[in-house]
Every structure is written in C-alpha cells, then in structure tokens.
Amino acid sequence: MSDHDYRPKSKVGQWFNDRLPLLTLANHLTDYPTPKNLNYWWTFGGILTFCLVTQIITGLTLAMHYIAHADMAFESVEHIMRDVNYGWLIRYIHANGASMFFLAVYIHIFRSLFYGSYKAPREIIWIIGIIIYLLMMAAAFMGYVLPWGQMSFWGATVITNLFSAIPLVGEGIVTWLWGGYSVDNPTLTRFFTLHYLIPFLILGLVVLHIWALHVPGNNNPVGIDIKKPSKDTVPFHPYIVIKDGFALLMFMIVFAFFVFYAPNILGHADNYIEANPMVTPAHIVPEWYLLPFYAILRSVPDKLLGVVAMLSAILILAVLPWLDTSKIRSAVFRPLYKQFYWILVADVLILGYVGAMPAEGLYLLIARVATAYYFLHFLIILPVLGFKEKTLPVPLSITEPVLGGSPNLAAARNKESKME
Amino acid sequence: MKNLFKLFSIIILIITSNSHSFAAEKVEYLKTDWSFKGLFGKFDRASLQRGYQVYTEVCASCHSMKYLSYRNLAEPGGPEFSEAQAKAIAASFEVTDGPNSDGEMFTRPGKLSDKFVMPYDNVKAAQAANGGAYPPDMSVLVKARGGGVDYIYSLLQGYEEAPSNVSLDDGVYYNKYMYGNKIRMAAPLSDGLVEYGDGTNATVEQMSKDVTTFLMWSAEPHLESRHQMGFKAIVYLIILTVLVYFSMKKIWSRVESEV
C-alpha cells in the first residue's frame, strides 16, 4: 500500500505526522482507489453522511430551545416554530431530514442487495450497516415522540407495549421502559436523552463502516474483484468527491422542496394536536419509513409472534451474506436473481402501502401474503437460487467489460495472470 | 445521467404517492383560490385582517389561540396591523397579571407582549360551557386536520339538515364534511354576522375564506419568508448543481469512463 510511503512535505507536517499520523489518514482518504465504473446508486453513502451531519447540527440547535417535559414539550416546539430566529427552518430541516435520511438509507440498502455488496469479503461492513439502520429506527421513533403530539404519545404507547408480548417479564419490562404505569413525563425525558445519544453512536459506527469499507475497497456494478490501484480505479479525490457532490446537490434540491414547500406532507396531522391520554386517535400510524415493518407486525394474529416476525424481518438481513449462496455478486450477471430482486422491491413497497391502511379485509390479506413472500425470498429463494441459477459470463476487469465468451471466472483469472 | 434523472423522479413519485395514501377521507372538499399556495404564495393582507375580525368576534368566544401574542398581529408576513392598531387591539382585552406587592392578582389592559387572552380558564371550564365538548385551540388547527385549509373552509360551510336516517342528540349538529358527520359546534357563521370595516360583503363563504386564511397564518406565521427563502435556496442549488456538473464532466474527461 502506498499509505506507508506517504511523508508530508513540510517539516512541521513531518513532526506532527510522526506523532499523530492524521496526515497519513487524510492522504489515504484522498488517494483511496475507487472503481471508476461506480454509478449514481453509489453516491448515497456520501449523501447519508450529509444527512447524519445535518440531523446532528439541526438537532443540537433544537435541543437548545426544546423543553423535555410533558406539560411544556408541545409548547416549546411552537415556541421554536414562532419565536426562535429561523426556528421553523431548523425544525423543518430536522423533521424532513429524518425522512430524507431513511429515503437515502433504503436506496443504499437496495443498491447493496442488487449488486451483492454484502457478500464476502464485505460482511462486516454490511452487518455494521444493519446495526446503524436499527439505531436509526430507534432514534427516529424516539424523535417523533418528542413534540408530544397525539401521534407521538400513541405511537410511543403502541411501540413500547410490544415488549409486553414477552412471556412472564413483559409487563415488568414495559413499566420499566415507561418509568411509570403509562407513557408520561419520565418516558419523555428518557426518550429525549436516548434520542440525543444515539446519533453519536451512529457516528461512531459510520467511522467503523467506512473503515471496514476501506479494507477490501468498494464493490462495483460489475461485482468483480479489481486490482488497486490500477486502470480500473480512480483516486477518491477529485473524481468521486465531485461526483458525490453533484449527486448530493440533486438530493438537496429534493430535500429543499420538502422543507420549503411541503414541510408537513410527510408527517401526520394528528401530531399537531397536543398529546391527550384520554383520547385515542382513529388510526395510529407510524412514520412512512417504518410502515413495511408495521405491516408485518400486524399481519400476524398473535401478538408475540407478530413482534418476533417484525424483528426477524430486520435481523434476517444481518445473516444475508450466508443466506445468499451465489458466488456471483452483481445482479447484472444473475438473470433470475434480478427478477426476484424487483419482486422483493415491489413486495416491500406493497407492505409499506398496506401498513398505512387499516388492518382489515383485503388489506390484511395482502399484508399476510406480502409478509410470507418477504421471508420466502430470504429463507428459500436466495439459498436455492445460488445453486440452481445459470449465471452470465463475468468480465475480467472493468476496462474490458466484455470478455469473449468465457463463462468461467477462474479460467478467466488464469488467463489474466498468464498475460502479465 | 439519464439514470440519475430516472432515479430522482422515482423518488419523488414514491414519496408523493405514499403521502397520498394518508389522506384517508374521501369527501371532496370545497375549493377556493388560496393566495398563499404555490411557489410565491403570500397572504392576502386584507383577508387576514378580516379573518382576524371574524376570529375575534365569532370564534374567540369559545376557541383559544394560546400560542399567539398580540405583537404577532403587527409583524411582517401577518395581518400587518400598524403598531398603534395592534396596541389598541391588545388594550381592548383585560389581562390577569400579578401577584402585585400585596400578593394580589389584578387585571390590566393587554400589551403587545401578552398572549391572546383565553376564553376559558381551563379545559374543564371550556367543556362545562360547551356541553362536554372542548373547543380545540386554534393556533395550529389548520395543520392538525387532515384536509388542512380546504377542510376548515368546507366545514364552516358544511352545515345541512340531517338526512332522515341520521338521528342527532341534543346539541349535536349535522355537517357533511365533519368526520362522522356529527359536530358539537352549531353553525358559527351566518350572512352578515360581522360588519367588515372595508365594506366587503360578509357572506358565509367570504367569512369562511377570510377566517381560514387567518388560521393558516396563525399555524404558519413564517409561511411567506419560507416561500421566499425556498425559492432563493432552490435557484441557488440549481445553479450550483449545473456548475458542479460541468466541473465533473471536465474532471472525468481525463479518464475513459462515463459519468
């Protein structure tokens, strides 16, 4: 690796770098060889970093004005919206930022699913990613509780009550979570504390996520191992920096549209009604990004099994690298997997749709079928596909994407090494 | 590049189609031309002032507006009463203050810094005076209802004779836009109920529109600056995006690969 050869030019730089090799790190990050064929689906990693930083900065500012008390939380949010300078802007960025964060993370996850980025040697990157995703859901859920509106209160009640499904100790755990016998002030203050903490845990995990990424390097649309650095790669700076920057700006335009012109479209109107333990809203619905899992939860008639199904739906992703038995990474060379992939995308969108609908009649039936298919995809289709599927010939390198009719990757590799 | 556009249009499509699914109500609301909608939407100042009049003369006898202060009435982007007018409005209300140096509460005329005076001391008092139903606080009412301004505007004009198959209890009224069609509030508006200072004919439709406009402002007092800033921000982002696009093309022209 060229990392070790790096030496700062200036004397001061050398003195500093011998004691703390930050400049070596900076050099590693700018020189980092990146596959040159990365498409725009790969720009969402950078976009997600932007989302995290935006949430932390706006969140810190909001925390300076917000009051975590059951009697004052709602009012303090209105104070932010009305009297704090640009408070409305900061809050709308933070609230819509959560949605944009999830939008980006879903694209990021589905990109990984399409191009097989979770496969060896990138399993650890993937598992850290799943932990980040879980923490994001926890942070988003607790953040939604903070304004102390009706949906905050009842959403918190429904979700915390899920723990009561645990046999024997369930009820005790719920009381412990609430800090009382119902969702109340102690619940709000602890949710605020955790909501403040989790983003920094995520930040730490993002560092590990990127660190783990920099060991094998990026996967790429062709999904083959490449030599680094080579004519297949470009240095991260300026090539990927400018491309990520361009995609980020496009993303920010969409983001700005929501913040300035439709700031409440992704929220629920009931959350502008102050929390009232005596009045239950007609439909308790989570935020859009949690709907697929909410649909899975409700599709199982038994409470405990419903919770188990919902958790499994997320945790099953963590073992995905071992469920997918195919040696080929990219769906580009897996004609059958490609079709099942798009069916899965449709399945998750359908789950999201029925999650927003009342759990009855046809909606419930659709939710059940879609839930069953979700698990079928990961537990049966993926493992079997790896053995049965006839994959297309994979190219030798990115620069020579079309290799005349070699169906065998190993043979192709041999040929390559002989040529050198 | 083409793929990128495809990607972003898919994103927008998914989000907008998703958000539509939340609008569960299938009633067609009455429509009117709201001046505050759209890229450059601004409030109609005269309508806001008339709307304030309707609120204060009609709604305020039951509905509080506890997050607003009298100073808001003179602030830019709102009804923009002159400071003298806003002071006079504030002074027309009796505000309980104290305790004074004797430990007594006392009343005094309102000041600009006071919050809107509430019609009832507390929720229980409000319920007791309204047959058990609490008239909701109106500060953010427009944002707290699924249909937003269209819903409020329609509701105010939606009072009808109940169909023969619907039986109504005492103090319950039929409204075709209300969730479940039953509402504890009697029709609040009737033609000529208020006398507009600017000579506008106070029809139910006109008053509904004015007061709903006022409620939109009370829920989103910074709507105008949001729209103005939004336009500038998005134009800025588009220009920057174009510049970065050409920089990217230039930089990537050094390697044989497409962006």
pLDDT above 90 for B16: no
- Give CA–CA dist A413/A369, Å, rounded: 44
User: Which residue of chain A comes nearest to B136, CA vs CA?
Assistant: A273
CB A331 within 8 A of CB A112: no
Give me the pLDDT at residue A407, please: 46
| Dihedral, B36, B41, B46, B51 alpha carbons, nearest 10 | 20
The low-confidence residues of chain A, meaning pLDDT below 50, are 1-2, 403-407, 411-412, 415-420
Half-sphere CA count of A193, side-chain side, radius 13 A: 6
Q: What is the DSSP string of B143-190?
A: GGSTTHHHHHHHHHT-B-PPPTT----TT-EEBTTSTTSEESS-----
Asked if A285 and B22 come within 8 Å (Cβ–Cβ), the reply is yes
Tell me the helices (H) and strands (E) count for chain B, helix number first.
7, 4
For residue B131, the model assigns a pLDDT of 87
Q: Could B229 and A256 be called an inter-chain contact, meaning their C-beta atoms sit closer than 8 Å?
A: no
Nearest neighbour of A253 by CB, restricted to B220, B229, B241: B241
How crowded is residue A282: how many other Cβ atoms within 10 Å of its Cβ?
A: 10
Taking CB atoms and an 8 Å limit, are B67 and A82 in contact across chains? yes
What's the angle, vertex CA A64, arms to CA A59 and CA A66, rounded to 5? Answer: 80
Do A82 and B72 make contact, defined as CB atoms within 8 angstroms?
yes
3-state secondary structure of A235: strand
Judged by DSSP in three states, B199 sits in: coil
Search chain B and give the residue with CA nearest A82.
Answer: B221
The answer to whether A186 and A180 have CB atoms below 8 angstroms apart is yes
Beta bridge partners of A234: A34
Give A266's contacts in chain B (Cβ within 8 Å): 15, 19
Rounded to the nearest angstrom, the minimum Cα separation between B103 and chain A is 26
- What does the block give as tokens for A268? 């629920």
The DSSP result for B48-107, as a single string, is HHHHHHHHHHTGGGT---TT-BGGGGGSTTTT---HHHHHHHHHTSEEEE---TTS--EE
For residue A89, CA distances in Å to A67, A93, A262, B35, B38 come to 18, 6, 12, 22, 18
Chain A residues within 8 A of B259 when measuring between CB atoms: 243
Helix axes A87-115, A335-355, angle to 10 degrees: 150
Q: How far apart are CA A290 and CA A18, in angstroms?
A: 48
Report the residue of chain B nearest A80, measured CA to CA. Answer: B67
The shortest CB-CB distance from B252 to any of A40, A239, A263 is to A239
Considering only CB atoms, A78 lies closest to which of B21, B67, B148, namely B67
User: Across the interface, do B237 and A260 touch by the CB < 8 Å criterion?
Assistant: no
Residues B193-223 have pLDDT tens digits of 999 999 999 999 999 999 999 999 999 999 9
Query: Among B16, B22, B142, B243, which would you mutate to test the A interface (most chain A Cβ atoms within 10 Å of its Cβ)?
Result: B22
Whether B227 and A261 lie within 8 Å, measured CB to CB: yes
C-alpha dist (Å) from residue B137 to A62, A272, B50: 24, 11, 20
Q: Which amino acid is at B28?
A: E
> Please, are residues A263 and A87 in contact by the beta-carbon 8 Å criterion?
no
Written as six digits, the tokens of A410 are 């190993």
Which of B113, B134, B232, B241 to substitute to test the interface with A, most A CBs within 10 Å? B241
Contacts of B229 (CB under 8 A, 6+ apart): A89, A260
Local confidence band at B17 (pLDDT 50, 70, 90 cut-offs): low
Res B6: pLDDT = 64
Measured between beta carbons, the chain B residues lying within 8 angstroms of A50 are none
**Minimum distance, in Å, between the CA of residue B149 and any CA atom of chain A:** 12
Flag if B259 and A41 touch (Cβ within 8 Å): no
Which residues, 6 or more positions from A132, have their beta carbon under 8 angstroms from its beta carbon?
A: A202, A205, A206, A209
CA distance B222 to A81: 8
Residue A401, pLDDT score: 59
Smallest CA–CA distance from A241 into chain B, residue? B248
Lowest-confidence region among A14-23, B3-12, B55-64: B3-12
Cβ pair B255:A234 closer than 8 A: yes
Look up residue B88 and give its two tokens.
């006079």
> Which DSSP string do the residues of A146-172 spell out, in sequence order?
TT-BHHHHHHHHHHHHGGGGSTTTHHH
CA distances to A79, A83, A338, A405, B35 from A72, rounded to whole Å, are 10, 15, 52, 70, 34
**CB neighbours (10 Å) of residue A402?**
8
Q: Which of B57, B51, B81 is nearest to B210 (CA)?
A: B51
Q: Which of A75, A246, A265 sits opposite B241 (nearest CB)?
A: A246
What is the DSSP secondary structure assignment for residue B222, as one 8-state letter? T
Q: Which of B137, B179, B146, B129 is nearest to A274 (CA)?
A: B137
Cα–Cα dist A340/A338, whole Å:
6
User: Searching chain A, which residue's CA lies closest to the CA of residue B247?
Assistant: A242
Cβ-Cβ contacts under 8 Å between A and B: the total is 116
Phi then psi dihedrals of residue B33, to 5 deg: -90, 100
Q: Which of B67, B247, B257 sits opposite A242 (nearest CB)?
A: B247
Judge: B226–A88 Cβ closer than 8 Å, yes or no: yes
- Residue B114 vs residues A84, A130, B69, B107, B220: alpha-carbon distances, Å: 17, 50, 5, 13, 19
Mean pLDDT of B117-142: 94
Interface test with A, best of B124, B251, B253 (most A CBs within 10 A): B251
Helix (H, G, I), strand (E, B) or coil at B238: helix
Facing residues of A35 across strands? Answer: A233
Binary contact (A89, B226; C-beta < 8 A): yes
Check A243 against B221: CB less than 8 A apart: no
